[in-house]
């Protein structure tokens, strides 16, 4: 049975999501921030014959994220997505690929990236000199955005100074960076932080300052702080070279993350 979730379902819902807290950081973060009774956010849950919650579907604005721990009613979730205003769907490939055949919305784009998780560091940070690694504060937002925009990999970034300043202020993101020659040259950040997990993003180094270990230092400082707080870490990547760096630190591939963009029109079944 699929039904809308409400505040009284919170404990059972969070307990399910925490079984894979890194994979569910978006859903957990949105629930912690906005709850179950907002116009722009809805949650549905599927319960098995024993009354146990086995799957969750989040709608935030026009983006859908499903999660399930066992066989679930993929057709039922697809029907909800197809009949709600939807521009995006994202999630673990093992789940979205079951929903995809039942959707009658056309895809504009479909992108697959590696999804990696870290619960402990494998690199020995005790032998690393972090004296030149600084934590960012809201007043550093402009320099951070300027650095990211100077790196080709972030040419399609939509982050703004105002948004980054806000997330650095409210604690849903944090950043570390290195200065050289009077400018910010390398950084690593988080996004979508919640009480149990965080996503690593924005790992960037200016071209002329690469191969000096700067990004690794920023990553180690960032990840060690988060792990000490008991948070699981995750990240997306599609560059194998970047993946190799992450794996040396302690990240392990846990699957693929899919991101779909829907066309505005529907097609008939």
Q: Return the CATH number at 239.
A: 3.40.630.30
Residue 268: which pLDDT band, with cuts at 50, 70 and 90? very low
- At 81-134, the pLDDT tens digits run 999 999 999 999 999 999 999 998 888 999 999 999 999 999 777 788 999 999
Residue 182 pLDDT grade (very low, low, confident, very high; cuts 50, 70, 90): very high
**269 CB contacts (<8 Å, ≥6 apart)?**
104
Nearest one of 189, 188, 204 to 149, comparing CA atoms: 204
Q: Determine the structural domain holding residue 59 and report its residue range.
A: 2-105
Look-up of token digits 């919305």: 105
Q: For 135, phi and psi rounded to 5 degrees? A: -85, 140
Paired strand residues for 134: 177
- The pLDDT score that the predictor gives to residue 125 is 79
Domain count, the chain: 2
**Interatomic CA distance for residues 228 and 131, integer angstroms:** 19
For residues 26-42, average pLDDT: 94
* Confidence category of residue 265, pLDDT binned at 50, 70, 90: low
For residues 200 and 249, membership in a common domain is answered with yes
Q: Is the pLDDT of residue 207 over 80?
A: yes
72: domain CATH number is 3.40.630
100, 213: one domain: no
Contact 103, 78 (CB under 8 A): yes
Question: Contact 249/121 with Cβ under 8 angstroms?
Answer: yes
The answer to whether position 261 is within a domain reads no
Judged against a pLDDT cut of 80, whether residue 142 lies above it is answered with yes
Instruction: Report the distance separating Cα 115 and Cα 237, nearest Å.
Output: 7
Q: How far apart are the C-alpha atoms of 10 and 27, rounded to whole Å?
A: 12
Residue range 171-180: mean pLDDT, rounded: 96
The residue out of 73, 105, 137 marking a domain boundary is 105
Residue 72 CA from chain centroid, whole number? 23
- Specify the range with the lowest mean pLDDT, choosing from 8-22, 156-170, 180-194, 198-212: 156-170
Q: Two tokens at 192? A: 């979508």
Residues 17, 71 within the same domain: yes
**Nearest alpha carbon to residue 204 among 143, 252, 264:** 143
Q: Both 245 and 125 in a single domain?
A: yes
Asked if 49 and 92 count as a contact pair (C-beta separation under 8 A), the reply is: no
Closest C-alpha to 135, from 188, 58, 199, 65: 188
Same domain for 122 and 208 = yes
| CA 70 to the chain's CA centroid | 22
Q: Is residue 264 part of a domain?
A: no
Q: What is the mean pLDDT of the chain?
A: 93
Q: Are residues 154 and 49 in the same domain?
A: no
Please tell me whether residues 125 and 229 are part of one structural domain: yes
C-alpha 254/C-alpha 203 separation (Å) is 20
pLDDT confidence tier of residue 201, bands split at 50, 70 and 90: very high
Please, which pLDDT band fits residue 48 given cuts at 50, 70 and 90?
very high
42/239: higher pLDDT: 42
d(CA 165, CA 136): 10
Among 75, 105, 135, the domain-final residue is: 105
């Amino acid at each position: 049975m699929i039904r809308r979730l409400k505040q009284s379902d919170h404990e059972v819902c969070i307990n399910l999501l925490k079984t894979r807290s890194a994979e569910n950081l978006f859903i957990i973060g949105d629930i912690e921030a906005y709850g179950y009774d907002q116009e722009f956010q809805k949650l549905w849950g599927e319960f098995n014959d024993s009354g146990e919650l086995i799957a969750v579907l989040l709608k935030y604005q026009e983006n859908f994220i499903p999660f399930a721990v066992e066989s679930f009613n993929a057709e039922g979730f697809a029907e909800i997505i197809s009949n709600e205003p939807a521009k995006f769907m994202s999630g673990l490939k093992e789940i979205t690929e079951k929903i995809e055949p039942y959707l009658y919305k056309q895809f504009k784009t479909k992108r697959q990236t590696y999804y990696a998780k870290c619960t402990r560091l494998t690199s020995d940070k005790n032998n690393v000199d972090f004296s030149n690694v600084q934590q960012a504060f809201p007043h550093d937002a402009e320099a951070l955005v300027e650095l990211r925009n100077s790196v080709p990999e972030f040419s399609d970034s939509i982050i703004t100074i105002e948004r980054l300043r806000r997330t650095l202020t409210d604690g849903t993101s944090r950043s570390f960076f290195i200065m050289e020659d009077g400018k910010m040259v390398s950084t690593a950040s988080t996004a979508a932080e919640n009480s149990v997990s965080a996503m690593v993003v924005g790992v960037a180094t200016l071209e002329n300052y690469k191969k000096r270990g700067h990004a690794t230092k920023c990553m180690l400082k960032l990840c060690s702080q988060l792990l000490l707080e008991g948070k699981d870490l995750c990240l997306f990547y599609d560059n194998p070279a970047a993946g190799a760096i992450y794996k040396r630190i302690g990240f392990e591939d846990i699957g693929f993350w899919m991101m779909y963009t829907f066309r505005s029109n529907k097609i008939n079944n």
